[in-house]
Amino acid sequence: MTPDGPVPADRAGGSLTIDLGAIAANWRTLAVVAGPAECAAVVKADAYGLGVAAVAPVLAAAGCRSFFVAQLDEGIALRGLLGPAPSVFVLNGIPPGTAAEFDAHRLLPVLNSATQVVEWQRLATSRERPLAAAIQLDTGMSRFGLSPDEVHGLAQRPDGFAGIAARLVMSHLACADEPGHPANESQREAFARLRPLLPPAPASLAASFGIFLGPSYHLDMVRPGVALFGGAASHSPSLRPVVRLQGRIVQTRRIPAGAFVGYGARFVAERPSRIATVAVGYADGFLRAGGGQGAACLPGGGPPLPIVGRISMDCLGVDVTDAPEAALQDGMALDLIGPHRPLEDAAAAAGTIGYEMLTALGHRYHRRYLPDAPPGR
């Protein structure tokens, strides 16, 4: 049993349904595509907003043995959820002065800089034993990782990596969602050049979109995040949608041609229209910048129903003129993300990406988790 969220269905402005079976199925699909490389799972930022307490145990049950989070406290929480067996990597590495906590919770820091390497080595010296960690290389993204100069510097010193039991050598691709981008190949080559200078360890380069670049990017481990959660469905027909987001119709009104909708009167009706006010707004992750774009639809499908006017904090307007009148009533739900309204499309219409949309959804929705195994099995 997975606990549903604290907001009761009958009074929430919207509902968020998260299909845990689809997350497990997506992990298995990616594990097959990437095999024989190990398939890890990235569950940072509360599993991309979907709830790490529900998501991580399902992934572990599906067979995932290595998990990535961004921050120390996310790692401590995940260790508590999953027990001692899985590897838990912390992508942002060691904040100054916290190395002992990583060791206490058996977390694997991703060492991103010479400073973080030294911090981990100091602890290893005081504990008089090598300490396990991942080492990240900057192969061009200029975000995290040892620079080529730092790698060469450390490699020339006999004690450069002393005390570090390297469990993984990794880097991250900047442009993996653009298969033709030359940065992909140049990062892959930079990684291959630097890797022999590091202590021998399994290697990892690909996140979700890197997996679809092909086997030369899989190396020993892949690290998908968003593809597990339905954000890469357009890249592979075998990945399943995970999230359904529904907003409740508070009221519906008829307006004549020339009437406007919402703050700033940014939408003016060109024809006599029916407008539904839906109780989801920018406080629920429907970013104001996306106002006047995108669409909702009836739960069973049908024509796209345009989102019109500016998005308010607690509501948005939907032009439901083209929906059959009998299909609509106050209190019913419209799909904002769902089987007929893919996450990637909803995000693109709002001028953003699935990652941002998921992590922005917030905590006012009624949350429902569909269990991994069908009931009765």
Ligand X SMILES: *Cc1c(COP(=O)(O)O)cnc(C)c1O
Q: Would you count residue 243 as binding ligand X (CB under 6 A)?
A: no
Rounded to a whole number of angstroms, the minimum distance from the CB of residue 186 to ligand X is 18
Q: Give bridge partners of residue 307 from the DSSP assignment.
A: 318
Any contact of residue 207 with ligand X (CB under 6 A)? yes
Match 């002065």 to its residue by tokens: 97
Residues 169-198 that bind ligand X (CB under 6 A): 172
- Span from 20-28, 76-84, 152-160, 220-228 in contact with ligand X (CB under 6 A): 220-228
Catalytic residue check, 263: yes
Number of residues lying near ligand X (CB under 6 A): 11
Shortest spacing between CB 52 and ligand X, in angstroms:
14
Nearer to ligand X, 42 or 108 (CB): 42
Nearer to ligand X, 175 or 295 (CB): 175
For position 20 contacting ligand X by CB under 6 A, the verdict is: no
Give the Å distances, CA to CA, from 217 to 35, 188, 198, 213, 225: 12, 7, 19, 7, 16
CA distance 237 to 255: 41
Task: Give me the residue whose beta carbon is nearest to ligand X.
Answer: 225
Q: Is 44 a catalytic residue?
A: yes
* Tokens found for residue 125: 């010296």
What minimum distance in Å lies between the beta carbon of 290 and ligand X?
Answer: 21
- Per CB under 6 A, the list member of 17, 208, 252, 273 interacting with ligand X is 208
- Residue 223 in the binding site for ligand X (CB under 6 A): yes
Q: Which is nearer to ligand X, 41 or 336 (CB)?
A: 41
The reply to whether 90 sits near ligand X by the rule CB under 6 A is no
- State the Cα–Cα distance between residues 92 and 144, nearest whole angstrom: 8
Q: Is residue 91 part of the contact set for ligand X (CB under 6 A)?
A: yes
Does 350 help bind ligand X (rule: CB under 6 A)? Answer: no
Q: Where are the alpha helices (DSSP H) in 205-311?
A: 208-211
Contact assessment for residue 28 and residue 39, using Cβ atoms and an 8 Å cutoff: no
Is 86 one of the binding residues for ligand X (CB under 6 A)? no
Q: What Rg value do the Cα atoms of the chain yield, rounded?
A: 24
Catalytic pick among 217, 263, 365, 369:
263
CA distance 114 to 297: 52
168 lines the binding site for ligand X (CB under 6 A)? no
**Interior/surface letters 341-367, b for 16+ CB within 10 angstroms, e for the rest:** bbbbbbbbbbebebbebbbbbeebbbb
Q: Based on CB atoms, which residue is closest to ligand X, 89 or 282?
A: 89
To ligand X, the closest distance from the beta carbon of 193 in angstroms equals 20
Q: 36: cis peptide before it, omega within 30°? A: yes
Instruction: Name the token pair of 202.
Output: 């399994």
Position 39 contacts ligand X (CB under 6 A): no
Phi, psi of 160 (to 5 degrees): -55, -45
Q: Count how many Cα atoms sit within 13 Å of the Cα of residue 220 in the half-sphere of its side chain.
A: 13
When asked if residue 224 is in the footprint of ligand X (CB under 6 A), the reply is yes
In 3D, which of 1, 79, 18 has the Cα closest to residue 358?
A: 18
- Determine, following the binding rule CB under 6 A, whether residue 358 of this chain makes contact with ligand X: no
Name the residues that contact ligand X, by CB under 6 A: 42, 44, 91, 172, 207-208, 223-227
Active site residues: 44, 263
